Amino acid sequence: MKRAALPLFLASLAAPAFAQALVVLGENAGGRQILVDVTSLKPSPPIFGLRDFPAMQVYVEMRNGAGRGSVERVRYSFDCARRTLATLTYARSVNGRKSHDWVGADVAMKYDPVAAGSLVEQAMIYACNGGKFPKRPALPALSGNPDPTADAEEKEGDGG
């Protein structure tokens, strides 16, 4: 019994938990999606001599919605106060074949601004909100009348 359980236990250690907890954060106009590993979010305190600010770190996966093309697995470190990021690990595979795999340093000079409206900005918002998904902005109610005071006048007369 113990011998049968050992290979299962070892297999569970080798299987990445990363692929088991992915949630779609968003998609760009080209159909590229960003997914976040909800179990990977962690705060990182300042590192003496390397970076003098706290950071939030998270693993993400970027891929096409149709499942074709390249898949990128990235570990980002975000400086929430300055809206900057450093890429700590990066792995890319195309059609199941790994084409890139590298590890970066978590030092202050490696932090670059996050592009507004990008998929990475969505990951930063998620990480900097402590793992809360961003709320979708409410769409404004469109009125048939462009004069906002006209609606208020109509409402006053409607109360029967």
CB-neighbour burial class of residue 108 (10 A; exposed 0-12, middle 13-18, buried 19+): middle
- Predicted confidence (pLDDT) per residue in 113-146, tens digit: 999 999 999 999 999 999 987 666 544 555 455 4
- Measured CA to CA, the distance from residue 16 to residue 73 in angstroms comes to 12
Contacts of 53 by beta carbon, 8 Å cutoff, 6+ apart: 46, 79, 81, 82, 108
Distance from the Cα of residue 75 to its chain's centroid:
10
Cβ neighbours for 81, distance < 8 A, ≥ 6 positions apart: 53
CB–CB of 61/53 below 8 Å?
no
Q: Which residue has the higher pLDDT, 144 or 15?
A: 144
0.75 surpassed by pTM: no
Q: Check: CB of residue 88 under 8 Å from CB of residue 103.
A: yes
**pLDDT at 10 (0 to 100):** 39
Q: Which residue has the higher pLDDT, 32 or 134?
A: 32
Query: What are the extents of the domains in the chain?
Result: 15-137
Q: What is the largest CA-CA distance in the chain?
A: 81
Structure tokens at 22: 């992915």
pLDDT tens-place string over residues 37-91: 999 999 999 999 999 999 999 999 999 876 678 899 999 999 999 999 999 999 9
Architecture of the domain spanning 15-137: Beta Barrel (2.40)
